[in-house]
Amino acid sequence: MTYVVTVLSVTQVTHDVRCIRFQKPGNYTFVPGQATDVSINKPAWKEEKRPFTFTCLNTEPYLEFTIKSYNDHEGVTKQIGLLQEGDELIIDDPWGTIEYKGEGYFIAGGAGITPFMAILRQLHKENRLGSNKLFFSNKTPADIIYEKELKEMLGDQVIFVLTQPEAGSNHPKQRIDETFLKTQVDRFDSHFYICGPDPMIQSIAGILTQNGADPQAVVFEK
């Protein structure tokens, strides 16, 4: 089923990431971590559907995406970056396989943090964050999405790493590789949740299973 929804607000999150809130259709529900297919309700873009993850809680009276715009080419995310209050989106029913199954490790690269935001916000609201840890990789400090909120929710249970740190950065230059994971992961028989660029997902999933993680406990969008 498809729904035409009106944009309620657009807020800048980082230099190239925006939070877009829009109308929630009646009886529309999703599970934290799920996504839906989205297009812009304009003649040239109606058929150009792309998947985006909800970053709000299901209990909110609105829906929300947090979307990175790629302005170096004329694509959907660039057009979404131009949206204003009152514009319209077309969304489908929710779908997705990233769902919280128990405490463990969240591993995100760049905009791959988005499916984890609703999960972590829900756990925080319910006081169930427990011993969950987040490893979050970005290029530079300016690319970190929701850094302040993640620190407030997770405290020292979030580790930010950068591949292109700038002078004075508080976060180390580091990739989430086997050395990093063996240092930071206390138990490989935990749940793991991975989202980011496909090569990163495949690499990390392979490292985890090679070190004893149950493939059924390594969750990513398949």
- Tokens 């080419």 sit at which residue? 73
Rounded Cα distance between 108 and 184, Å, is: 14
- Could you give the 3-state DSSP secondary structure of residue 52? strand
Say if CB 100 and CB 56 are below 8 A apart.
no
Four-way CATH pick for 104-219: 3.40.50.880, 3.30.70.1530, 1.10.468.10, 3.40.50.80: 3.40.50.80
β partners of residue 7:
22
116 in Cβ contact with 106 (< 8 Å): yes
CB burial of residue 3 (10 Å; 0-12, 13-18, 19+):
middle
Q: 104-109 and 133-138: which strand pairing?
A: parallel
What is the residue-level pLDDT of the chain in tens, covering all 222 positions? Answer: 999 999 999 999 999 999 999 999 999 999 999 999 999 999 999 999 999 999 999 999 999 999 998 877 778 888 988 999 999 999 999 999 899 999 999 999 999 999 999 999 999 999 999 999 999 999 999 999 999 999 999 999 999 999 998 877 889 999 999 999 999 999 999 999 999 999 999 999 999 999 999 999 999 986
Q: Tell whether domain 2-92 is in CATH 2.40.50.100.
A: no
- 94: nearest Cα among 3, 20, 23: 3
Segment (H or E) for 191: strand 191-195
What tokens does 85 get? Answer: 């209050």
pLDDT at 85: 97
Residue 97, pLDDT score: 83
pLDDT score for 75? 82
Sign of CA dihedral 105, 107, 111, 115: negative
In three-state secondary structure terms, 203 is helix
3-state secondary structure 32-61: CCCEEEEEECCCCCCCCCEEEEECCCCCCC
Alpha carbons 72 and 74: distance in angstroms, whole number? 7
Residue that has been written with the tokens 């204003």 in this structure: 84
Residues in the chain, overall count: 222
Q: Return d(Cα 33, Cα 147) in angstroms, integer.
A: 19
pLDDT of residue 70: 83
Contacts of 15 (CB under 8 A, 6+ apart): 142, 143
pLDDT for the residue numbered 73? 72
Q: Taking a C-beta distance cutoff of 8 angstroms, is the pair 22, 12 a contact?
A: no
Instruction: For the chain, give every domain's residue range.
Output: 2-92, 104-219
Residue 14 confidence (pLDDT)? 96
The pLDDT of residue 201: 96
